[in-house]
Amino acid sequence: MFSRVIFVVGAALLSCTPTAAQTYSTCNPLQSSNCPPDTALGKAINVDFTQGSVNSFTASGNPTYDSNGVSFTVAQSGDAPQLTSLFYIMFGKVELTMKAAPGAGIVSSLVLQSDDLDEIDMEWLGADSTEVQTNYFGKGEVTTYNRGQFNPAPNNQGEFITYTIEWTQSQIMWSVGSTIVRVLTPETADANQYPQTPMQVKFGAWSGGDPSNPPGTIAWARGPTNYADGPYTMIVQSLAVTDYSTGTQYKYGDNSGEWQSIEAVGGKVNGNSGGAAASVASADIPAATSASPSIPAGLGGKPKDSTITQTGWPWVATATTLTTAGPVYTTAPGVPSGWVISSNGKVVPADSAAVNNFPSPLLLCSPLAIALITALVRICS
């Protein structure tokens, strides 16, 4: 028994070592044919954050958990708490039940983003509790900001509302509660801008109105942010994600960025899309509150002729000409080999009977856990 414990513990400790080359992608598939595959969700999950954290998401900026769910608090300059999925979906549905953060300049964000910088956004400005901003980008093209809309979302800071992004090869639908507020198709999208490659799920809060941000970002966020009036908190109660494709990994077959080039390893693109909504006529959609060319990318957007500086969240473009061979993009770590994501969003052993009651290696990497494991090894040696 002790030998089995030591074996599992040793394997877990190995997963704690800084093996960035194995667990992080620093590769844009449009610029390289050697990018590693993306971890596929390949199923549906339903995460109840009122029960605490799940290890299928990586945290940055210290999100906190209580009976209301997960909170993303901006209290001072530089705060930008967020969660990022370990997995990707290849078309699918994301449903986030949340309260947006209040406060001038404060932004609550839900972003779907791919390695080649396709992007679908919903963002809530703390200065206005009646609207949500919907947006999209393709292939990192953010030289123009003419794709955004302001759509109705009344009382979004006062009550929990479920927001939905449903994404297929034929349309993207943004919904507030049970009301579809916007539909985009490849035909109505800007040329070569329809998002169509595997995406991660990211959400959190940040200060677009921080005084260190460019004036355009501060104006868009309706800042500046007055931290003395804070803290400002976005609360997420639950998240449901359905991957409309199946398999264990998604690979780019070429550098076209087209969905037909994506290979689903061990599965099929659109292999789980039977529940996708039928096409919706634009006449059925409520009118946008307004359209604006000034809505920036939610995360990671970058014009091809610029470098970028990070002023919190999102990445904000500058006008500096590139001096390197090409940009580098980083994604979250994938699921360890031999482990899978359960229906409640937890990373668990693929064969739970074989390693019954052992936690995920992702959970054994804290300082306290390592100290306890070290003591156990000494006792057993």
Give the per-residue pLDDT at 141.
Answer: 75
Domains of the chain: which residue ranges? 34-333
- Kindly provide the b/e burial profile for residues 49-84, where b requires at least 16 CB atoms within 10 angstroms of the residue's own CB: beeebbbbbebebebeeeeebbbbbbeeeebbbbbb
> Strand 131-137 relative to strand 262-265: parallel, antiparallel, unpaired?
unpaired
- Asked if 162 and 95 count as a contact pair (C-beta separation under 8 A), the reply is yes
Instruction: State both tokens at 146.
Output: 């003419």
pTM for the full predicted model: 0.75
Distance, CA of 226 to CA of 210 (rounded, Å): 8
CATH architecture, domain 34-333: Sandwich (2.60)
Distance, CA of 30 to CA of 255 (rounded, Å): 4
- Asked if 200 and 84 count as a contact pair (C-beta separation under 8 A), the reply is yes
Phi, psi of 352 (to 5 degrees): -65, -30
Give me the residue label for tokens 């906190």.
64
Residues 6+ apart with CB under 8 A from 193: 136, 137, 138, 139, 141, 147
Give the per-residue pLDDT at 292.
Answer: 53
Distance, CA of 212 to CA of 227 (rounded, Å): 13
Q: Residues with catalytic annotation? A: 119, 123
Give the per-residue pLDDT at 213.
Answer: 95
**Tens-of-pLDDT digits for all 381 residues of the chain?**
444 333 333 333 333 332 222 223 368 998 888 899 999 999 999 999 999 999 999 999 999 999 999 999 999 999 999 999 999 999 999 999 999 999 999 999 999 999 999 999 999 999 999 999 999 999 887 666 668 999 999 999 999 999 999 999 999 999 999 999 999 999 999 988 999 999 999 999 999 999 999 999 999 999 999 999 999 999 999 999 999 999 999 999 998 989 999 999 999 999 998 766 666 555 455 555 555 545 555 532 332 222 222 233 343 322 222 222 333 333 345 677 777 788 888 877 876 534 444 344 444 444 444 454 555 545 555
Q: Compute the chain's Rg from CA coordinates.
A: 21
Q: What is the layout of strands, in order, in the sheet containing 262-265? A: 38-39, 249-252, 262-265
Encode the chain in three state secondary structure: CHHHHHHHHHHHHHHCCCCHHHHCCCCCCCCCCCCCCEEECCCEEEEEHHHCCCCCEEEECCCEEECCEEEEEECCCCCCCEEEECCEECCEEEEEEEECCCCCCEEEEEEEEECCCCEEEEEEECCCCCEEEEEEECCCCCCCCCCEEEEECCCCCCCCEEEEEEECCCCEEEEECCEEEEEECCCCCCCCCCCCCCEEEEEEEEECCCCCCCHHHHHHCCCCCCHHHCCEEEEEEEEEEEECCCCCEEEECCCCCCHHHEEEECCCCCCCCCCCCCCCCHHHCCCCCEEECCCCCCCCCCCCCCCEEECCCCEEECCCCCCCCCCCCCCCCCCCCCEEECCCCCEEECCCCCCCCCCCHHHHCCHHHHHHHHHHHHHHC
Give the per-residue pLDDT at 274.
Answer: 75
